[in-house]
Amino acid sequence: MRTQIVFGVLVVLAALAAPALTAEIIPDPSTDREFSAKLSVCNACHDVNGRRKNATIPVIWGQQENYLVKQLHDFENGARNDEVMLWMAKTLTQEELRVAATYFAKQTWPARSAGAASTPPPPGLAVCQGCHDTTAPRLAGQGYEYLVEAMRRFAEGERKNNATMMKMMAAIPPADREAMARYLSGL
Ligand code: HEC
Ligand code: HEC
């Protein structure tokens, strides 16, 4: 399944990438049709009308710009491991990568479909607010499945692109991480 998706996406991208390599000017998705087509490939997974294709895919519309730039670089150079996103990041030139981050950061974070979180925040969550939504990425309203998996990967050393997050997550028992992810996804 995963391989099929990767293959399908690569075929599309191979077709798109061929003529795009000559541009030195700053790409503009509103006028550059090839770049715009590349970005619509991203939307096929991340945000179909502001909705993700499945729960393991993170929301990137309205996410912090600097965070998006860093993640794309991290995928590209292997600091963050993901087979699909490695290829996706590689299809973008360095200029396009920055413009793509700006483009997605400017979109509106999708509106919540569920009701507001009615439970009090789990203990320990106040600590997260010291960084998140200010210097660190937005977590509020991110999908539960994505959040809990991202936290597990930091905890177990599979995601290594932030040492502080690795230490912090390793110190939180899995059940507490689940409660945090549940609460954050409902915000
Ligand atoms: C085939 C589906 C697919 C496509 C197409 C795709 N992505 Fe992703 N993307 C994912 C998945 C799955 C993840 C989560 C990877 C992980 O769990 O580490 C992800 C993660 C990301 C992240 C990290 C977000 C975060 O909160 O950490 C960014 C940024 C991103 N993608 C940008 C893009 C851009 C830009 C494109 C188009 C060039 C794109 N993606 C195309 C599936 C896709
Ligand atoms: C000292 C600052 C700091 C604190 C405190 C902190 N984080 Fe983070 N967190 C970060 C940074 C920075 C990143 C982005 C790391 C990277 O570059 O990938 C991050 C990433 C994450 C991610 C991945 C987001 C994504 O889109 O992939 C999750 C989930 C997360 N943090 C959860 C938490 C939770 C839950 C807490 C509280 C228990 C917490 N963090 C506390 C700085 C912090």
Pocket test for ligand 2, best of 63, 131, 152, 185 (most atoms within 8 A of CB): 131
The secondary structure of 73-86 as a DSSP string is HHHHHTSS--HHHH
Architecture of domain 125-185: Orthogonal Bundle (1.10)
Least confident of 14-18, 24-28, 34-38, 106-110: 14-18
pLDDT tens profile 8-21: 555 555 555 544 44
pLDDT in the model for residue 13: 52
Q: Are 67 and 114 in contact (CB under 8 A)?
A: no
pLDDT in the model for residue 21: 47
Instruction: Tell me how far the alpha carbon of residue 142 lies from the centroid of ligand 1, in angstroms.
Output: 13
- Residue range 147-153: average pLDDT? 97
* Distance, C-alpha 104 to centroid of its chain: 10
Cα separation of 97 and 177, whole Å?
32
- Residue range 132-145: average pLDDT? 92
Please say if the pLDDT value at position 116 is more than 90: no
Shared fold status for 2-106 and 125-185 = yes
Q: Are 143 and 114 in contact (CB under 8 A)?
A: no
Instruction: Tell me how far the alpha carbon of residue 119 lies from the centroid of ligand 1, in angstroms.
Output: 30
Fold of 2-106: Cytochrome Bc1 Complex; Chain D, domain 2 (1.10.760)
> What does the chain come to in residues?
187
- Residue range 46-73: average pLDDT? 86
In the chain, where are the structural domains located?
A: 2-106, 125-185
